[in-house]
Structure 1
Amino acid sequence: MFEFAPIAMAITTSDAATSSYVKVNDAYLKLTGRKWSDIRGKKLTTEGAAIDSPARDRRHRLLADEGAYVLEEVDIVHANGTEIPTLISAQRTVVNGVSFDVEVILDVSARVKLQREMDLALRKAAMTDALSGLPNRACFEEFMAHSISHAQTSNKQLRLAFIDLNGFKIINDTMGHAVGDEILKVVSQRLREKCRSTDFVARIGGDEFVALLETDPIGVNEHIELLKRIMERVFEPIGLDGRTINIGAAIGVALLDPSRDTPATLLKKADERMYFAKASGDRLRMEIAG
């Protein structure tokens, strides 16, 4: 029964310091990728599957004090070096005056993988703007902090473009929020398509977007011209339900000062330049911090 049980099982000696394999079943060998000839009589801490850690000592104390433990989370090591998450239950038994531990090991790697995928999906959802599909403000702030830290130790320049749509409230008020949502989707898609794959674009508010662009110190002027051309293409007239809608934007651009700027100060500089652009009254205007 032990040998052919579908669940991995192992019998080991009970001494915490010298615990070694006495017997394992086929399911255990399959789970760990080992051969019985390789682990027979070997100490768990040197040849065995369970990772040696303070948790091991705690489990041995449970066995010594209570005679058993149930569903303890333990990572074990496959013969190829990969870690396998498991749940282990064990009971201490005495045969002819000799103490042994009988372990039952459940492979929960599929469950753990699913949980990790769910966690990633939840994190992605928490970092994504539902309407546009772009990263949201929380994601942008996290990415900007990382980018600034990187720029402070590299020979790269970081520019932030703060983009606020012009006339969007009027569109919402006169054409309805459904049309406004479609406009936001089109602008988001164009920003995603027109910006470089290395640029980071996010929607951080109702009609507010940002683009974080990294460039070499040389060619900064060319980079500004490129940004202008991108914005001109993004804000070309939009055809929607037989109508042509001219949407513009006020764009403020700020250059990171690696020795002084934080994410908050860089965003503030770009925001201030955006308000200068907004004050011009132009349909599409870019103001660049000196």
Structure 2
Amino acid sequence: MIQISEIFPWDDNFGTGIEIIDEQHKKLVMLVNKLAMKIATDSGELTINQVLDELTDYTIYHFDSEEKIWLQYLPVDTLTTTHQETHRDFVDEISKAKGELGNLSNIEIIDDVLSFLTHWLAFHILDTDRHMAKIIMAVQQGMTAEQAKSHAADEMSGGTRLLVEAILKMYDSLSSRTLDLIREIAQRQRAEQKLQLSKNVIDSSMEAIFITDADGLIIDANPAFCSDVAIDPAQLAGRDIRSIKPSLFNSREDGTDTWSLARDNGHWGGEVVLINGQGDSEAVWLTLSTVRDAQENIENFAGVLTSISQLIQRQHVLELEVNHDRLTGLPNRRLLEDRLKLAIAHHARNKRLLAVCFIDLDGFKAVNDTLGHDAGDELLRVVSRRLSDLLRSEDTVARLGGDEFVILLGDLVSKEDIEPLLGRILNTIEQPIPIGPDEAHVSASIGVTLYPADNSTPEGLLKHADEAMYAAKHAGKSRHHVWSDG
């Protein structure tokens, strides 16, 4: 945090001798310092306007408090009237300042506004308010108004006047220098915060990152890099990166090496081989860049290593999640539709039959109701495994959701080829399914449509197989029915 925060430091010599006025003066000084701090630290127009509004409101309150005291002792006097006019002029100046501070990029305007505020406030306290306070205190001690004014004028003249002018000049200079210092400290702190943020990002990155000087000697490396090379960070500094991991910079087939390419072109990226600390090789993507000074001389090299195998693994996981049923691991509707389109194209070329079989389990709801949903989920997993084991590798079994499955049986020579396959599917599903101490029993209703006899779209084939499945249910369940357009 910034330690030097006051362009207008309060001093006990600013005291007027009237406690309530002195406390309000301290508050005004605090608000001017707060405004300067917000401006110097680039706090934004909204925040600065909020402080200006607070300063305006409190200034009006302070002036009202002052004027009540002055009017109590000098009800009809040109000094009081002049003081009131001075107050109104200052409030007008604050309103103007708010408009001028709208252009926060113009430092000269900002400095002029703050210089005016500090100078006016210092003069207001040291000269006009102190003068009025001396009059009030003299009246309180028994002098007449005229005697009090003469007494106060004497005390404010001569050496006192010279002292006030000297203090005002000192504060004008001090406020300007302090504001510049606050700005400099704020800029340095923002730069340090950015550097710390960059370091935190690099240190927490999963990618291995290293920085070297122009000769390849390591300056810094993040924890991921240290882990990959199995070398303690304290032992890395000053070592040649090319001697630690030569496989990253080996010559390529065309005789060039990655280091030379990065040096000559400013950047290089490509696949390289990393031998990790355990001696295992891994394909990684190396991005190597140069950092140059103002004269375009290379000062540093920065490298980032990304594990390609991890990316491939992540992509595989994502593909599985997108295309497969979470409960059973079977292809979902999305993947089924893709495979059905490919199967239609394949069978259109080889003139073989494709059977699209829509399966709905009979009695599944009763298992859910009596044994619970966990038991129902286990039953679906068992049925999925049994169907997968029964089918050929070129066939597809997919789960659409609930207790509905679709099977694609391809390369059939005739309609009769489907009969024994469907019989085995029905028999497999009807086998008892052990679930904990219990045993569940279900059967299946299967609707079948055959392509190209049913020369429909993929959506049409699924719709027709679904219709045939309902026909099998209506016929008594635990059977199959082949769709026909007649």
- Give the TM-score normalised by the residue count of structure 2: 0.42
Q: 1:265 corresponds to which residue?
A: 460
CA drift of 1:89 comes to: 2.0
Does 1:108 find its partner at 2:305?
A: yes
SS in 2 for 1:138: helix
CA drift of 1:38 comes to: 3.5
Within 5 Å, which residues of 2 pair with 1:82-101? 85-91=285-291
Q: 1:130 corresponds to which residue?
A: 326
Separation (CA, whole Å) in 2 of partners of 1:242 and 1:25: 64
2:373 to 177, 186, 189: 177
Q: 2:426 corresponds to which residue?
A: 231
CA contact (8 A) 2:216 2:301 kept: no
Partner deviation per Cα, 1:243-271 (whole Å, 9 max, x = no partner): 44331111011112299432211111111
Separation (CA, whole Å) in 2 of partners of 1:227 and 1:36: 57
Q: 1:69 corresponds to which residue?
A: none
Does 1:253 find its partner at 2:453?
A: no
CA contact (8 A) 1:191 1:201 kept: yes
SS in 2 for 1:196: coil
Within 5 Å, which residues of 2 pair with 1:34-183? 34=251, 38-39=255-256, 74-75=269-270, 85-91=285-291, 104=301, 106=303, 108-110=305-307, 112-183=308-379
Q: Number of aligned residue pairs: give it.
A: 240
Separation (CA, whole Å) in 1 of partners of 2:435 and 2:254: 73
Bigger proportion of residues as strand? 1
- 5+ unaligned residues in a row in structure 1: which ranges? 8-23, 51-59, 64-71
Letter in 2 for 1:5: L
Mark the CA change 1:3 to 1:140 in structure 2 (over 3 Å): closer, same or farther. Answer: same
Does 1:197 find its partner at 2:414?
A: no
- 5+ unaligned residues in a row in structure 2: which ranges? 1-212, 220-240, 274-282
Mark the CA change 1:27 to 1:262 in structure 2 (over 3 Å): closer, same or farther. Answer: farther
After superposition, the CA RMSD in angstroms is 3.8
CA drift of 1:118 comes to: 1.2
Q: 1:5 corresponds to which residue?
A: 217
Q: 2:479 corresponds to which residue?
A: 285
Partner deviation per Cα, 1:96-144 (whole Å, 9 max, x = no partner): xxx777883635242x321221121122122222222222222222222
CA drift of 1:171 comes to: 2.4
Does 1:33 find its partner at 2:250?
A: yes
CA contact (8 A) 2:361 2:442 kept: yes
Q: Which structure has the higher relative contact order (CA within 8 Å, separation 6+)? A: 1
Mark the CA change 1:263 to 1:102 in structure 2 (over 3 Å): closer, same or farther. Answer: farther
CA contact (8 A) 1:91 1:101 kept: yes
Separation (CA, whole Å) in 1 of partners of 2:253 and 2:457: 58
Q: 2:119 corresponds to which residue?
A: none
Identical columns (%): 33
Separation (CA, whole Å) in 1 of partners of 2:288 and 2:389: 50
Letter in 1 for 2:431: E
CA drift of 1:224 comes to: 2.9
SS in 2 for 1:232: helix
Separation (CA, whole Å) in 2 of partners of 1:211 and 1:36: 50
CA drift of 1:239 comes to: 3.5
Q: 1:53 corresponds to which residue?
A: none
Separation (CA, whole Å) in 1 of partners of 2:254 and 2:356: 63
SS in 1 for 2:329: coil
